[in-house]
């Protein structure tokens, strides 16, 4: 066993310890520099290139005066939405959606979460598979859409929702912003 009190061994251990400390400091400096380089290259939000973004429709603010299409298409064969209050006198969310469907001459209006879970419907028992399928079509922005189906997106209290409206016969001349605004009014009342 070597004698630890020997000055040569003591110098050897001190030199070895200093070398280990210097190597650790160099490694820490290099790691910090590498982290800083990677941080400067990456953006704060990275998008998944395989998934298309969800569309969110903005509802235009109320403006005074006539709308841009006032006075046009007065002899159009498609009927205009009926004047129906979708909230007053309704007992629940489903009844309000049924009134909304009647207002726009739709057979059915269903609301789902962005991932396809049924939230509410104007029908008593809509097909969960169909709701998930239509929500998926909207999320993937598949074109052309199935005939007679209107898919629209809206945000309510931080959650993104998909509206699925099945057109009636004859189809009403539904303007998406009006349909979205009426749907938001209903959601604000019941949820």
* pTM for the whole structure: 0.56
Residue 70 pLDDT: 42
Digit-coded pLDDT (tens) for 19-78: 999 999 999 999 998 888 776 665 555 555 566 656 655 544 444 444 444 444 444 455
Residue 168 sits in a domain of what CATH number?
3.30.450.190
Q: Can you tell me the distance from the alpha carbon of 188 to that of 191, in angstroms, rounded to the nearest whole number?
A: 6
Q: In the β-sheet with 149-156, what is the strand arrangement from edge to edge?
A: 118-121, 106-113, 159-167, 149-156
| Same-domain pairing of 102 and 170 | yes
Distance in Å from the first CA to the final CA of the chain: 81
Element (H or E) spanning 88, and its range? none
Question: Number of C-alpha atoms within 13 angstroms, CB side, residue 78?
Answer: 14
Residue that finishes a domain, picked among 46, 62, 82? 46
Range of the domain at 32: 1-46
Q: Which whole number is the average pLDDT over 86-93? A: 83
Residue 83 pLDDT: 80
Is the residue at 55 inside a domain? Answer: no
Is the residue at 140 inside a domain? Answer: yes
- Give the other-Cβ count within 10 Å of 97's Cβ: 29
């Amino acid at each position: 066993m070597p004698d630890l009190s020997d000055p040569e061994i003591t110098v050897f251990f001190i030199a070895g310890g200093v070398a280990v400390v210097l190597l650790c400091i160099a490694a820490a400096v290099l790691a910090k520099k590498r982290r800083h380089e990677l941080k400067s290259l990456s953006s704060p939000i990275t998008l998944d290139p395989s998934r298309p973004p969800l569309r969110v429709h903005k509802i235009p603010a109320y403006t005074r005066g006539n709308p841009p299409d006032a006075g046009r298409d007065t002899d159009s064969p498609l009927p205009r939405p009926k004047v129906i209050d979708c909230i007053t006198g309704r007992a629940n969310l489903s009844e309000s959606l049924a009134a909304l469907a009647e207002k726009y001459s739709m057979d059915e209006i269903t609301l789902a979460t962005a991932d396809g879970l049924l939230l509410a419907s104007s029908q008593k028992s809509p097909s969960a598979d169909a709701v998930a399928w239509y929500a998926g079509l909207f999320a993937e922005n598949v074109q052309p859409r199935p005939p007679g189906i209107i898919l629209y997106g809206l945000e309510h209290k931080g959650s993104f929702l998909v509206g699925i409206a099945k057109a009636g016969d004859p189809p009403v001349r539904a303007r998406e912003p009006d349909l979205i605004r009426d749907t938001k009014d209903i959601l604000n009342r019941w949820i």
